[in-house]
Structure 1
Amino acid sequence: MKVLYIEDDPRAAAELCELGWQQGDIIAVETDGQSGLRRAGIEAFDVIIMDRMLGDSDGLALVARLRDSGVSTPVLMLSALGRTSDRAEGLEAGADDYLAKPFEALELLARIRALHRRASGREHSAVILYGAFECHVKARTAFRSNRHLALSPREFELFRYFMENAGEVITREMLLFDVWNMAFDPQTNVVDVNIGRLRRKLEEGFDSPALETVWGSGYRLLEGRAEPRTEDQAP
């Protein structure tokens, strides 16, 4: 990916550039809002990461100006302000996602890649394949090793989201925002309960796991390559 990072903290900018280099991405850095605004208007980027509180500019005003000028590049806003009202302000100003500081590098990477996929339209593929899994989007059917998985509507939406972000760590907040359309955490176990149900259906009858819990971060879909158990092999 080619990413524009508008950040006035040199240490934060250097850390993300190093991380991007390790992943094979190009991270262009602008240290003030006005320079970032100009560059976003003349160069093509896959994702823009913008700090909300810049020395010369307000990130909310900047992203609003970007949208007014016709720049549709996905914007991920970073901020130390993490209340529900702060997140709502960022999204209403035109940001596509909002991540409160401090955050884990894995989550930041997962979010910008998810934004990139969403913008490129790959999530609209008729069939998504990953390892032993198949997700037939229009038919709303799921398979593992050619075995049909009987998923409820909510479980299918979860499965589809994991397939769209296959192999990446998906946080609870990402699921709430993208699957449940919630810009806040309702402080319930709705995600955990539904993940548990989905995991059981993905793994029932197979000897290898399908969903990995990444402690302190979230969940990751595994490739699930394994032959189904036969009746003689069933425990």
Structure 2
Amino acid sequence: MNILIVEDDLDTAAFIEKGLLQHGELVKHVASAQEGILVASSTEFDVIIFDRLLPNMDGLDAVKVLRASGILTPIIILTALGDTVDRVDGLNAGADDYLVKPFDFSELYARLKALTRRKPISKVLLSLSLGDLVLERTSRKVIRAGRQIELNTKEYQILEFLMQTPGQLVTKTMLLEKVWGFSFDPKTSLVQTHVSRLRNKIDKPFDLELIKTVRGCGYIISDE
């Protein structure tokens, strides 16, 4: 395995790296979330180990940025925060697993192998589909129940991002980062307005609502 470690505690990083090298794995270590985002976005890894409590940027925010950028590499969060709500926050941010410190290396390594055994997700799909909704990436056509739907650029980008993770929560922050490139909240109804317009085209003319609001959190697209 080729593994990226994002950990600011050098003792913890050295402990993990030593164990992985003993198992013959390839290891890259960086000490900040920003550097982790940069390296993970430019190099192929089999799995990423991401500390949560990093200086200058929370590890969960960094994971959200990676997922919003289309990085699908399995990620395991390491943290001293072990409450259920912390675990849920980590998984909702886009992490695949969550391990509380202190931990045994044997458990960490077993979890890493389990993550890499999962069926890999194709990074580039020419089309995305959900129920009777189809998004053709090459032609940028959107069709529902055989009917072509005209979307503007932002509406298309929102729908494409939602359809990449059906059944999963997409937050307002994730949409601001992915669709508009904002690293801050402009405190406007920008996202809500565009999602509302998208719904009017995608959902309103049909019986089944696909785009659902999770009050105070964001949106989920699902045909259930």
- In the alignment, which residue of structure 2 is the partner of 1:67? 67
Distance 1:26 1:56 in 2: 27
Distance 2:12 2:2 in 1: 18
User: 5 Å matches for 1:93-172?
Assistant: 93-120=93-120
Give % identity. 47
- In the alignment, which residue of structure 2 is the partner of 1:51? 51
Distance 1:17 1:60 in 2: 22
- In the alignment, which residue of structure 1 is the partner of 2:39? 39
Distance 1:20 1:60 in 2: 24
Shift of the 13–42 alpha-carbon distance from structure 1 to 2, 3 Å rule, reads same
Distance 2:120 2:90 in 1: 22
- Superposition deviation, residue 119 in structure 1: 4.1
Q: Does the alignment pair 1:88 with 2:88?
A: yes
Distance 1:119 1:19 in 2: 25
Distance 2:59 2:72 in 1: 16
- TM-score normalised by length of structure 2: 0.53
Q: Are 1:67 and 1:94, in contact at CA under 8 Å, matched by a contact in 2? A: yes
- Superposition deviation, residue 56 in structure 1: 2.0
- In the alignment, which residue of structure 2 is the partner of 1:12? 12
Q: Which stretches of structure 1, 4 residues or more, deviate above 4 A after TM superposition? A: none
Q: Are 1:6 and 1:33, in contact at CA under 8 Å, matched by a contact in 2? A: yes
- In the alignment, which residue of structure 2 is the partner of 1:2? 2
Distance 2:68 2:120 in 1: 21
What do residues 45-102 of structure 1 show as CA deviations (whole Å, max 9, x unaligned)? 0000000000121011000000000000000001000011100000000000001111
Distance 1:120 1:113 in 2: 13
**How many residues of Structure 1 are paired with residues of Structure 2 in the alignment?**
121
Distance 1:119 1:46 in 2: 12
SS in 1 for 2:81: coil
Q: Are 1:53 and 1:59, in contact at CA under 8 Å, matched by a contact in 2? A: yes
What do residues 130-162 of structure 1 show as CA deviations (whole Å, max 9, x unaligned)? xxxxxxxxxxxxxxxxxxxxxxxxxxxxxxxxx
2:34 maps to a residue whose letter is Q
Distance 1:2 1:32 in 2: 19
SS in 2 for 1:95: coil
Q: Are 1:74 and 1:119, in contact at CA under 8 Å, matched by a contact in 2? A: no
Distance 1:109 1:78 in 2: 13
Distance 1:10 1:103 in 2: 16
Shift of the 44–100 alpha-carbon distance from structure 1 to 2, 3 Å rule, reads same
- Unpaired runs of 5+ residues, structure 1, are 122-235
SS in 2 for 1:57: coil
- Unpaired runs of 5+ residues, structure 2, are 122-224
Q: Are 1:4 and 1:27, in contact at CA under 8 Å, matched by a contact in 2? A: yes
What do residues 14-56 of structure 1 show as CA deviations (whole Å, max 9, x unaligned)? 1111101100001100101101100000000000000000012
